Structure 1
Amino acid sequence: MNVTAAEVASQPDVWSRALDLTDPARRELAAPGERMLVLGCGTSWFVAESIAELRESAGLGETDALCASEYVPRRRYDRVVAVTRSGTSTEVLEALRQVPAGTRRVAVTAVEGEPVDDLTDARLLLDFADERSVVQTRFPTSVLALARAAYGQELARTIEDGRQALRAELPVDAAGIDHLVFLGTGWTVGLAHEAALKVREAAQAYSESYPAMDFRHGPVAVAGPRSLVWSLGDVPAGLDDVARGAGATPYRDALDPLAQLILVQRFALALAAHRGLDPDTPRLLTRSVVLT
């Protein structure tokens, strides 16, 4: 088993550990009534998108999500949360340096003693969820599990579904798929983006992601017999017929969306193996993007 696969398999247990941080996460990520911005790059940006939707849906306050490189201090926020596994990504650090004085800055990270610590007022440290792999799997899902708990959701079924996702058969044989499309709605749009990124990173495969109903607005044009259209969460069932009409294979299941992401990660690893790739050494990628 490669390192990435071992970290994928550890997720339900790691989620259980993350729930021990629910009280401090409630203080830093819930903050009822405050206007909040969540920042990140790559995977962490997609986690930020999901957190923003989850927080607003819970009625806790206006919440925006931005790719850290696009942050410009135009809007007023009470709190800025930076999701950064390594605590060293240049774009995240630069964004935090621009946050106006008086705004509370919070880091959600897997490593302590890194530059992000000097730029924030508080830290949620998930060091038990850190990864040796360049490709992120258990850190982002643990952050989302923790955020959901902080917003009042019960995670017992999610954890059990995660274990089921580790035992389940993959939707199709990876050898028959060249193109994947991931669809989400609400907070699972961020999951869809993360799912597509995992396929690109681990398997160097053609993958896309969209808010579910936007699939009809152009993306369906490139779906075909070697396409897998994967729905995450409560995606309208009629889109399966749209996928079939294009000759593609639709897939959905009843697992919690976070557990569904485990199945996606496993599929990405199977696709990488089919292509003769080592997911522990993804092409052109590093653990953290540090710009000079």
Structure 2
Amino acid sequence: MHTYNEIKNQAEQLHKTYELLEKETFNTGEVDQVIFTGCGTSFYLASSAARYYQNATGVFAAAVPASELFLHASTWIIPGKKYLVVAISRSGTTSEIIMALDNLKENEQIRTLAITCNGDTAMAEMADEVIALDHISEQSVVMTQSFSNMMYALQLYAVKWAESEQDLNELSRIPDLVNALIASEDQTKVIAENLTKKRFIYLGSGQYNGLAKEATLKLKEMTQTECESYSSLEFRHGPISIVDESTVVILLAQKETAAFDQSLVKDIQRLGGYVLVIGPTNEDFEADQLIRLTDEITDHNRYSLYVPLLQFLAYQRAVRLGFNPDQPRNLTQVVKLA
């Protein structure tokens, strides 16, 4: 199984990404806003990366689907303002990314950075700068290690721009910590293989909202399971009405949200929902299942530790349901517009 192997060996690839980015220098320059853009998984990555970048650097950042930058560019680009547009694509050939970069190329106020797992593409040629993770060569249709590695590369890019030694030191530990988590992949099987559960909901706030959306997409792509994602505390404002005994809620916990997470879990449980909490929870935290992550790394740098667990959950459920994760229905590795 390509998908399984590419989830399993992403720690090794994270090591390579760290070594690559550690040596790189970039033309940061002054900008008024950074726009992160992509499609599908790459857009959810952009959403998380924008929140991380703004937190690390103090520069305003936003995430925009790539199609918005050629369909509605005037609603995002203000004349006279300086922008850095960070374009994200695993293949470097996604149609909307190419069209977005082409639409922006004549604007002298816009500088572009491409991040891709294929440096020999039109996307890379069109951008002013490139982060090419050519050591990532996924054969799977769904994005796994490409997602974690491109996010990790953008985190390293941000902290190098901010010259934050503390963040860089924490990020240097990520590959080894991910490797340890991958060794305990069976933690997610309890719920992944429980077929009495029909509905899955992922909750995450801040930069983890993008990850909640990506986890939802992974499960949907591999299993066609009914699933949704929300910002954590928004879940009470309507969506909680669908919770019943067939519902699983996966909460991406953080130290920043600790004061609110426990009461949210209790509210979901009272309605019959099963709650899996992943994160740096305290010893007295209660849920149906807990997967505790280290609190020795700050919330914004812990991101990659959640990723393989969420990918394993989707993979394991696909296998339990009899699906082939390498051949998801109605999907191809690259989306190209006619």
TM-score using structure 1 length: 0.93
Give the stretch that moved more between structures: 73-82 or 196-205: 73-82
Give the Cα separation in 1 of the matches to 2:268 and 2:177: 26
| Alpha-carbon contact 1:85-1:130 (below 8 Å) kept | no
Q: 2 CA distance for matches of 1:32 and 1:167? A: 43
User: How many angstroms does 1:264 deviate by?
Assistant: 1.1
Partner residue, 1:273: 319
User: How many residues matched?
Assistant: 290
Tell me what 1:3 maps to.
2
Determine the C-alpha separation between the residues in 2 that align with 1:67 and 1:174: 34
What CA distance in whole angstroms lies between the structure 1 residues aligned with 2:84 and 2:204?
Answer: 27
Q: For 2:2 and 2:333, how far apart are their aligned partners in 1?
A: 14
Is the 1:89–1:289 contact (alpha carbons within 8 Å) kept by the matching residues of 2?
yes
Asked if the contact 1:87–1:117 (Cα under 8 Å) also holds between the matched residues in 2, the reply is: yes
Aligned twin of 1:21: 20
Offset at residue 34 of structure 1 (A): 4.5
Q: 1:31 to 1:247 in 2, by over 3 A?
A: farther
1:40 corresponds to: 38
Please list every run of 5 or more consecutive structure 2 residues that lacks an aligned counterpart in the other structure. Answer: 281-292, 294-301
Q: Which has the larger radius of gyration?
A: 2
1:164 aligns with 2:180: yes
- The whole-number CA distance in structure 1 between the counterparts of 2:217 and 2:172 is 27
Partner of 2:107: 101
1:50 to 38, 45, 48: 48
CA-based RMSD of the aligned residues comes to 1.9
How has the CA–CA distance of structure 1 residues 32 and 190 changed in structure 2, closer, same or farther, with 3 Å as cutoff? farther
Which sections of structure 1, spanning at least 5 residues, go unmatched? Answer: none
Would you say 1:126 and 2:133 are equivalent positions? Answer: yes
Distance in 1 separating the partners of 2:125 and 2:182? 38
1:204 matched residue in structure 2: 224
| Aligned counterparts, 1:46-85, within 5 A | 46-71=44-69, 72-74=72-74, 75-76=77-78, 77-85=82-90
Identity of aligned residues (%): 27
Q: d(CA) in 2 for partners of 1:93 and 1:287?
A: 16
Alpha-carbon distance in 1 for matches of 2:155, 2:144:
17
Partner AA of 1:66 in structure 2: V
Q: Is the 8 A contact 1:8 1:265 kept in 2?
A: yes
Taking a change above 3 Å as real, the CA distance of residues 57 and 32 of structure 1, as seen in their structure-2 partners, is farther
Cα distance 1:59–1:17, how it changes in 2: closer, same or farther (>3 A)?
A: same
Aligned partners of 1:83 and 1:262: how far apart in 2?
A: 20
Q: How far is 1:156 from its partner?
A: 4.1
Task: Determine the structure 2 residue equivalent to 1:174.
Answer: 193
> 1:185: which partner in 2?
205
CA–CA distance in structure 1, aligned partners of residues 20 and 30 of structure 2: 18
Q: Distance in 2 between matches of 1:106 and 1:59?
A: 17
CA contact (8 A) 1:134 1:286 kept: yes
After superposition, residues 228-267 of structure 1 pair within 5 angstroms as 228-234=248-254, 235=257, 236-253=261-278, 254=280, 255=293, 256-267=302-313
SS of 1:291's equivalent? coil
Cα distance change of structure 1 residues 58 and 192 upon mapping to structure 2, 3 Å threshold? same
What secondary structure, in the 3-state scheme, does the structure 2 residue paired with 1:237 have?
A: helix
Kindly provide the CA deviation profile for residues 183-214 of structure 1, in whole angstroms up to 9, marking residues without a partner as x.
11111111111000000011111111111111
Q: 1:23 to 1:242 in 2, by over 3 A?
A: same
C-alpha distance in 2, partners of 1:130/1:175? 32
Distance in 1, Cα, partners of 2:73 & 2:202: 32
In structure 1, what is the equivalent of residue 284 of structure 2?
Answer: none
